[in-house]
């Protein structure tokens, strides 16, 4: 998936029976068009300590933000 856009989302923490749950997600838009020409949007859950969208995307690839330098996205 080649990513053309990304944004970090921090919804309000939820209280549950076992404590407070903090969810942090990165919204990414796939630049590879679907058969109908549209681009799909995906939400990727990342650790609650994530500060930037780029840091979140790099985490999904198992590398640090500093090491995330894709030459080609597929």
Domain ranges of the chain: 3-60
CB 20 within 8 A of CB 36: no
Q: What is the pLDDT of residue 73?
A: 63
pLDDT tens, 6-56? 677 776 767 767 777 778 899 988 878 889 999 899 999 999 889 999 999
Nearest to 8 by CA among 22, 28, 36: 28
pLDDT bucket at 59, cuts 50 / 70 / 90: very high
pTM: 0.69
* 50 vs 34: CA distance, rounded Å: 30
Residue 53 CB neighbour total at 10 angstroms? 20
User: In which band, very low, low, confident or very high, does the pLDDT at 3 lie, cut at 50, 70 and 90?
Assistant: low
* Whether 33 contacts 43, CB under 8 Å: no
């Amino acid at each position: 998936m080649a990513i053309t856009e990304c944004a970090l989302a921090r919804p309000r923490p939820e209280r549950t029976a076992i404590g407070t749950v903090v969810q942090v997600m990165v919204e990414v838009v796939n630049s590879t068009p679907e058969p109908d020409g549209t681009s799909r949007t995906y939400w990727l859950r990342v650790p609650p300590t994530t500060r930037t969208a780029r840091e979140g995307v790099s985490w999904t690839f198992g590398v640090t933000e500093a090491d995330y330098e894709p030459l080609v996205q597929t």
